[in-house]
Amino acid sequence: MKTIDRELFVAILFAIVFIVIGSGLLYWGTYIYNDINSIRENGIRVKGVILRYERRGPSSSTKVSDIITVPIVQFKTKSGESVIVEGNVDDISILKNICKSGEPIEVIYDPDNPEHAVINTFAELWFAPLLLWLIGAGFVLGPPFTIWRHYKK
């Protein structure tokens, strides 16, 4: 096997791995988008209140820079049931500057499962799908472009 053929084989192998991973990220972003969109279309909008902001991290030995801060929001369903939900996104820099603890914020919840709710902010609704789509697209489009650019003659 020639050197260029071996290099191309390895490049194509890596491209396939990246494309598979990227496709998974694109699917995951679409899954999250569909879930959130379903709540937005079929859910009930109510006013909730930000109780506090809590720090979350993977373990007790996590560095401060690895910890995220998420909003904890309480709202009442149309039937009067009190529900507490946790935000999904580190809103410390976005939401905390806009809304302080104790202030009202809109929540959209699934009437069949009130614990399945989203805080109606741009970051909570769009951050995860957009990030996954962006990274996934890079993983899918990057390797073929790189191979084409490197081996075109």
- The answer, yes or no, to whether residue 129 has pLDDT greater than 90, is yes
State the average pLDDT for the chain: 83
Locus of tokens 């209140």: 49
Q: What is residue 59's predicted lDDT score, i.e. its pLDDT?
A: 58
CB 71 within 8 A of CB 119: yes
Ranked by mean pLDDT, which of 17-21, 51-55, 93-97 comes out on top?
17-21
CB 49 within 8 A of CB 73: yes
* pTM, rounded to two decimals: 0.76
Ranked by mean pLDDT, which of 25-29, 58-62, 109-113, 146-150 comes out on top?
25-29
3-state secondary structure 117-151: EEECCHHHHHHHHHHHHHHHHHHHHHHHHHHHHHH
